[in-house]
């Protein structure tokens, strides 16, 4: 009896812990994306970026983030979307991926929101543009759909491929 | 529970770091001592100084204790074995000979490997074979009788068996000597001052004695030692008093013998002051430690002993069958010998000691000696008789007999019956009251180890406590005392800091410098904006004029145009108000100028502070190069042993400081160079003698500052490099074409040794030529932003100079702009900067080149060499850019890099691209410019190979195009 109650309580707690997720949502070419907030270190304004040779186009270059030199990835180019000049809303999201700190350029950062995991549904089968492995899923919100990105995969996979190649 | 575990783990990590630190220190010291021991053994010294063996023993013992604490069983076991061997050695049960030294060396090596393994992982270190070797050595000691006859002439066998006295087995020379626990505090303070003053004086005298060593100084030293003893004893600080007493004894002996102190004694006295100082300091702090005293007393006793028997070969062997002694009567230092004997006298007993000089060459001297012994036993109880009674019958020549006897009789009464035929003279002395007191102490103090026959004793209590600070202190300060510098009066406090934290601090300091520069730029901009004084004033002048004009306008009155005037006047008033505002603004601007001046002052202050900060942080990473150099003593020794060459390693500039990381990185290349010098450079003694050189070759390691860099030199006086041989070899290996070889100067030919796959050794020996070629050495050095230079003269020797930047963190570089991007070039690699218009610029197969001083240099354009994924926002380089920076690259290559314009020289902080990204070909790293922008650091070597490669590709694709 007591065991059952305990496990039930545990389930609830786990459900609560596991069921909710905090995301930072951002805009990229009219679509809204979300990244887990734990991956995001900070959001900074666009500054001057020093380009680096011998790198794929989506690597914009390097910036100085408080004396650390970090690479900047352009997510638009990464997703084969047309490049756009930076606007007032363009931001760099500084994320921590695999022990490294890097920045990704997004069109705009929207908000921080909390979702429940129940709201996540698997990505549709035909998401050609992105490549499914980068998507954790889609988040149904009241009036819109949020694309949940697996930032580790997006940034590390091609880099690993380059290193290997 | 888990939390606690983590805590423990953390603590453990911390302690482990401590262990590693401690262990490597101990092992370093041990290795150093091993080298000394080795040279002693090879010099034929059979009786290794006790103090020295003790120190080695202590080192192993400390490590044993530490390893047991951490559960490092392998280290524990091995140190235990080593300890056993050393223990046997210091108890004179084991003669330290070459095999023993080898085993000890092997043991030290294994230990080092084991300690290394703790940090770097790897297979377990197997030492079973070594263990059995050690066992063999130890078994040899178990039956000393079996070994000793093999070496009849060894000093061990004839060492005066002073310690036969039963009391000699007392291990701690200070056992039973206790400080009075109730010393009034006010007297203690007085003692502190007194002791400190006395110690300072002693130190000073010792320092002075290095220049002018007089009898007087010995006398003064004696006086001070005596004073120290007196003041300590009067307070009941008996242990200090004892130590001081022994020092006094030593000095007394020196003085009475009319000798000045020699370096060995100076050394000892330094140690003595250190130990006492340590004690006094400790006492002041409330936790006096006397752990160093035991060994100090042993050392002093040994010195006294040594002094008494200064040259065992000259004096002691006369006790045995020494033909030389028959011919010439040996001078005997009766007083000293008597004093020694006296010190053996039992406590509280009336004693007489004496020395009987025997007639040289007396037949049946052994019988006479026995007769003397028998007579003595009748007089009282003999506590000392030398030579030992058991040996008397075997001795053919006994120059003198030393004896001590517990008896109520006076000295004369003892001397009387002993005067028998064959005894030339006899000298006896009663142990007087004060001497008896001294003797009482010395009995306790007598180390057990002076006798080979002494019963094996367990570890001395002084070494039982391996972590005792005093112990470690003495061990650490010994090298300092070696140099006879500050005798450790100054105890500098140190703090172990994680290198990562230091790097962090370094980073921040670097950033601060950059921010300072940034602020400086802003200030400069502001200043130029407001500095135009004239323009500010000039702006005020029209304001004035306008105002006057309006005033005139006000006074104008013409009825006909009144209405228009009113209108104009209104307009003018309005304008006037506006103008006033402008005027105020200009005035404010002028005030701002003053503020800007204040700002620039503040900025300059900030820059100075941040520069200072950066420098001191950098200094924190600097460590002397000495320990690194000293490691090579061992390397050279090993080679010497393996090759039968006689090589001496001279070390200079040990105190030159280098970045810690650099020291770590330099170890391998330097070992390689030293090995090369020893193996290929230095000839065999015969060849050297034939060449008119001393048989002993010399390898010199030197470190010194030159400008903004540090130079490390490996120099040998060997056979030098043979350019012709090198050329042949290079041709053979396909490194150069025979036609090239003919055109090469000797100097150029020598540089070929840096080429990959080159090895000058005719045959690959065990020592060098293990695959790490000179090219690897060079690239290693270049990784450290250093350069390496080789100079050699056939038959005279070779010098390799490594030039390194002061630190790894800062790279002096040349900043240049290419296509609007700023690039940094390591200044070390910049050969020259040229304006191409002055030179002939032929194209070779469509590639841009320039003839600069007779050398054809390929010019590369970074825009073309690099593959840029996006256009620079500043446009491409104009192809006719005429400024070219010529850089040197690997293999004596040079490369011209076209730049749009030069910015200047700057010290930049290197940031690794790999840290947050990955390495990029041609780029050595990034740095942050004064304006906060990131600039890329070019890697000349990579650029050169990229250029070669890309031309290759171009040619290939061109060929393909032709085919199709």
The CATH number of the domain holding residue A82 is 2.40.50.180
Residues of chain A positioned with their CB less than 8 A from the CB of B914: none
Please tell me the pTM assigned to this model: 0.46
Q: Taking 90 as the threshold, does the pLDDT of residue A153 lie above it?
A: no
Q: Find the mean pLDDT for residues B144-156.
A: 37
Does A10 fall in a domain?
A: no
Distance from CA of A131 to the nearest CA of B (A): 23
Residue of A nearest to B932 (CA): A64
pLDDT of residue B755: 77
**Most confident segment among B312-321, B399-408, B647-656, B748-757:** B647-656
Give the DSSP H/E element, type plus range, for residue B843: strand B843-844
DSSP string, B271-313: HHHHHHHHHHHHHHHT----HHHHHHHHHHHHHHHHHHSS-TT
HSE toward the beta carbon, residue B591, CA cutoff 13 A: 6
pLDDT of residue B467: 40
pLDDT of residue B712: 92
CA distance B202 to B459: 32
Structure tokens at B839: 């030179």
* Gyration radius from chain A CA atoms: 18
* Contact criterion met (CB below 8 Å) for B395 and B387: yes
Q: Find the mean pLDDT for residues B776-784.
A: 82
Q: Find the mean pLDDT for residues B60-85.
A: 80
pLDDT of residue B852: 81
Does A14 fall in a domain?
A: no
pLDDT of residue B522: 83
User: Among B154-158, B375-379, B441-445, whose mean pLDDT is lowest?
Assistant: B154-158
pLDDT of residue B223: 79
Structure tokens at B814: 């040349």
Does A8 fall in a domain?
A: no
Contact B926 A66 (CB under 8 A): no
Of A55, A61, A67, nearest to B511 by CB-CB distance is: A67
Residue of B nearest to A58 (CA): B869
pLDDT confidence bin for B463, thresholds 50/70/90: very low
pLDDT of residue B843: 75
**Most confident segment among B224-228, B379-383, B393-397:** B224-228
pLDDT of residue B13: 64
Q: Does A52 touch chain B (CB under 8 A)?
A: yes
Q: Find the mean pLDDT for residues B293-308.
A: 74
Number of domains in chain A: 1
pLDDT confidence bin for B590, thresholds 50/70/90: confident
Q: Give A70-104 pLDDT, tens digit per residue.
A: 999 998 888 888 888 888 899 999 998 888 899 99
Size of interface A-B (CB pairs under 8 A): 79
pLDDT of residue B917: 84
Phi-psi region of B845 (alpha: psi -120 to 50; beta: other; left: phi over 0): left
pLDDT of residue B459: 38
Q: What is the share, in percent, of chain B residues with pLDDT greater than 90?
A: 2
Does A18 fall in a domain?
A: no
pLDDT confidence bin for A161, thresholds 50/70/90: very low
The Cβ of residue B622 has, within 10 Å, a number of other Cβ atoms equal to: 16
**Most confident segment among B430-439, B536-545, B908-917:** B908-917
pLDDT of residue B72: 78
User: Among B49-53, B160-164, B778-782, whose mean pLDDT is lowest?
Assistant: B160-164
Q: Taking 70 as the threshold, does the pLDDT of residue B490 lie above it?
A: no
Alpha helices in B2-49 (DSSP H): 2-42
Of A53, A55, A63, nearest to B934 by CB-CB distance is: A63
Does A123 fall in a domain?
A: yes
Distance from CA of B602 to the nearest CA of A (A): 22
Residues of chain B positioned with their CB less than 8 A from the CB of A162: 918
Q: Find the mean pLDDT for residues A7-11.
A: 44
User: Among A133-137, B333-337, B362-366, B476-480, whose mean pLDDT is lowest?
Assistant: B476-480
Q: Find the mean pLDDT for residues A58-78.
A: 88
Residue of A nearest to B513 (CA): A67
pLDDT of residue A104: 92
Q: Which domain holds residue A118?
A: 25-164
pLDDT of residue A24: 93
**Most confident segment among B288-302, B591-605, B801-815:** B591-605
HSE toward the beta carbon, residue A59, CA cutoff 13 A: 23
pLDDT confidence bin for B560, thresholds 50/70/90: low
Report which of residues B327 and B360 the model is more confident about.
B360
Does A47 fall in a domain?
A: yes
Q: Give B368-377 pLDDT, tens digit per residue.
A: 777 777 777 7
Does A137 fall in a domain?
A: yes
pLDDT confidence bin for B838, thresholds 50/70/90: confident
Residue of B nearest to A66 (CA): B511
**Most confident segment among A28-42, B419-433, B849-863:** A28-42
User: Among A9-13, B400-404, B414-418, B725-729, whose mean pLDDT is lowest?
Assistant: A9-13
Contact B508 A101 (CB under 8 A): no
Question: How far are the Cα atoms of B67, B180, B224, B586 from residue B24, in angstroms, in the given order?
Answer: 12, 39, 38, 70
Q: Give B172-199 pLDDT, tens digit per residue.
A: 555 556 666 666 666 677 777 777 778 8
Contact A69 B868 (CB under 8 A): no
Q: Taking 80 as the threshold, does the pLDDT of residue B815 lie above it?
A: yes
Return mean pLDDT, chain B: 72
Does A4 fall in a domain?
A: no
* Contact criterion met (CB below 8 Å) for B28 and B667: no
pLDDT of residue B280: 78
pLDDT confidence bin for B700, thresholds 50/70/90: very high
């Amino acid at each position: 009896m007591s065991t059952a109650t305990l496990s039930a309580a545990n389930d609830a707690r786990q459900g609560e812990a596991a069921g909710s997720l905090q995301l930072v949502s951002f805009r990229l070419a009219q679509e809204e994306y979300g990244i887990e907030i734990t991956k995001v270190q900070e959001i900074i304004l666009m500054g001057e970026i020093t380009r680096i040779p011998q790198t794929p186009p989506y690597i914009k270059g390097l910036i100085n983030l408080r004396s650390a030199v970090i690479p900047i990835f352009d997510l638009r180019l990464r997703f084969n979307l047309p490049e756009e000049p930076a606007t007032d809303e363009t931001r760099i999201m500084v994320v921590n991926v695999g022990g490294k700190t890097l920045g990704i350029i997004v069109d705009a950062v929207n908000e921080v929101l909390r979702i429940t995991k129940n709201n996540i549904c698997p990505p549709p089968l035909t998401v050609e543009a992105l490549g499914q492995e980068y998507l954790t899923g889609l988040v149904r919100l009241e009036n819109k759909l949020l694309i949940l990105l697996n930032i580790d995969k997006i940034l590390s996979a091609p880099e690993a491929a380059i290193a290997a190649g | 529970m888990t939390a606690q575990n983590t805590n423990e783990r953390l603590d453990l990590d911390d302690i482990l770091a401590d262990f590693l630190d401690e262990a490597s220190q101990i092992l370093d010291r041990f290795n150093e001592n091993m080298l000394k021991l080795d040279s002693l053994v090879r010099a034929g010294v059979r009786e290794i100084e006790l103090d020295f063996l003790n120190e080695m023993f202590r080192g192993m013992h400390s490590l044993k204790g530490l390893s047991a604490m951490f559960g490092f069983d392998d280290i524990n076991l091995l140190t235990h074995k080593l300890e056993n061997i050393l223990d046997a050695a210091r108890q004179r049960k084991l003669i330290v000979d070459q095999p023993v030294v080898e085993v000890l060396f092997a043991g030290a090596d294994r230990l080092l490997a084991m300690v290394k393994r703790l940090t770097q992982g790897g297979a377990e270190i197997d030492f079973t074979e070594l263990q059995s070797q050690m066992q063999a050595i130890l078994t040899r000691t178990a039956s000393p009788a079996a070994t000793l006859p093999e070496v009849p002439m060894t000093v061990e066998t004839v060492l005066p068996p002073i310690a036969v006295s039963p009391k000699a087995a007392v291990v701690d020379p200070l056992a039973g000597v206790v400080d009075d626990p109730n010393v009034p505090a006010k007297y203690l303070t007085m003692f502190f001052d007194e002791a400190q003053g006395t110690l300072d004086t002693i130190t000073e005298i010792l320092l002075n004695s290095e220049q002018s060593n007089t009898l007087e100084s010995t006398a003064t030293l004696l006086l001070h030692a005596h004073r120290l003893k007196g003041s300590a004893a009067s307070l009941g600080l008996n242990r200090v008093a004892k130590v001081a007493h022994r020092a006094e004894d030593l000095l007394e002996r020196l003085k009475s013998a009319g000798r000045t102190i020699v370096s060995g004694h100076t050394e000892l006295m330094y140690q003595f002051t250190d130990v006492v100082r340590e004690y006094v300091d400790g006492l002041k702090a409330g936790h006096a430690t006397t752990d160093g005293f035991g060994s100090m007393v042993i050392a002093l006793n040994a010195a006294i002993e040594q002094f008494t028997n200064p040259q065992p070969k000259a004096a002691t062997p006369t006790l045995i069958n020494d033909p030389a002694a028959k011919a010439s009567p040996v001078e005997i230092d009766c007083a000293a010998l008597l004093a020694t004997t006296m010190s053996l006298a039992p406590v509280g007993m009336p004693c007489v000691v004496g020395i009987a000089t025997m007639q040289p060459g007396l037949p049946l001297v052994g019988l006479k000696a026995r007769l003397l012994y028998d007579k003595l036993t009748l007089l009282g109880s003999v506590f000392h008789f030398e030579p030992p009674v058991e040996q008397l019958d075997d001795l053919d020549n006994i120059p003198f007999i030393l004896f001590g006897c517990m008896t109520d009789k006076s000295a004369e009464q003892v001397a009387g019956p002993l005067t028998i035929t064959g005894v030339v003279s006899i000298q006896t002395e009663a142990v007087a009251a004060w001497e008896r007191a001294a003797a009482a102490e010395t009995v306790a103090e007598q180390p057990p180890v002076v006798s080979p026959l002494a019963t094996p004793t367990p570890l001395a209590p002084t070494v039982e406590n391996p972590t005792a600070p005093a112990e470690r202190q003495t061990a650490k300060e010994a090298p300092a005392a070696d140099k006879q510098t500050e005798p450790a009066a100054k105890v500098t406090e140190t703090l172990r800091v994680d290198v990562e934290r230091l790097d962090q601090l370094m980073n921040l300091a670097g950033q601060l410098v950059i921010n300072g520069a940034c602020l400086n730029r802003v200030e400069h901009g502001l200043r130029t904006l407001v500095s135009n004084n004239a323009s500010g004033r000039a702006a005020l002048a029209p304001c004035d004029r306008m105002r006057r004009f309006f005033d005139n306008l006000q006074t104008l009155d013409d009825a006909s145009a009144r209405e228009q005037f009113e209108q104009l006047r209104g307009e003018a008033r309005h304008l006037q108000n506006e103008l006033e505002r402008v005027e105020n603004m200009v005035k404010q601007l002028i005030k701002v100028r003053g503020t800007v001046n204040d700002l620039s002052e503040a900025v300059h202050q900030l820059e100075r502070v941040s520069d200072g900060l950066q420098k001191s942080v950098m200094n924190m990473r600097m460590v002397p190069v000495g320990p690194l150099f000293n490691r090579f003593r061992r390397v050279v020794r090993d080679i010497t042993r393996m090759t039968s060459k006689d090589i001496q390693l001279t070390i200079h500039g040990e105190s030159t400081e280098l970045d810690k990381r650099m020291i770590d990185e330099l170890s391998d290349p330097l070992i390689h160079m030293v090995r090369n010098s020893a193996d290929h450079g230095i000839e065999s003694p015969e060849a050297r003698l034939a060449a008119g050189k001393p048989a002993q070759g010399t390898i010199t390691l030197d470190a010194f500052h030159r400008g903004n860099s540090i130079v490390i030199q490996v120099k040998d006086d060997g056979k030098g490099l043979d350019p012709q041989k090198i050329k042949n070899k290079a041709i053979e290996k396909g490194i150069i074409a025979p036609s090239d070889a003919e055109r090469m100067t000797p100097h150029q030919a020598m540089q070929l040794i840096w080429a990959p796959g080159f090895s000058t050794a005719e045959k690959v020996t065990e020592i060098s030529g293990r695959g790490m070629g000179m090219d690897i050495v060079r690239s290693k050095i270049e990784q450290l932003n250093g350069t390496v230079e080789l100079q050699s003269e056939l038959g005279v020797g070779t010098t390799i100079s490594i030039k390194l930047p002061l630190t790894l963190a800062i790279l002096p570089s040349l900043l240049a702009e290419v296509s609007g991007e700023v690039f940094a070039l390591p200044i070390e690699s910049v050969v020259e900067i040229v304006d191409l218009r002055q030179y002939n610029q032929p194209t070779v197969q469509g590639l841009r080149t320039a003839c600069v001083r007779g050398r054809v240099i390929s010019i590369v354009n970074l825009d073309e060499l690099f593959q840029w994924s996006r256009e620079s926002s500043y446009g491409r380089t104009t192809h006719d850019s005429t400024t070219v920076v010529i850089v040197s690259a690997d293999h004596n290559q040079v490369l011209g890099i076209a730049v749009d314009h030069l910015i200047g020289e700057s010290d930049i902080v290197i940031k690794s691209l790999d840290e947050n990204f990955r390495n990029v070909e041609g780029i050595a790293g990034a740095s942050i410019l004064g304006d906060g922008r990131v600039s890329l650091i070019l890697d000349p070597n990579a650029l050169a190979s990229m250029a070669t490669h890309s031309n290759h590709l171009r040619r290939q694709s061109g060929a393909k195009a032709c085919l199709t």
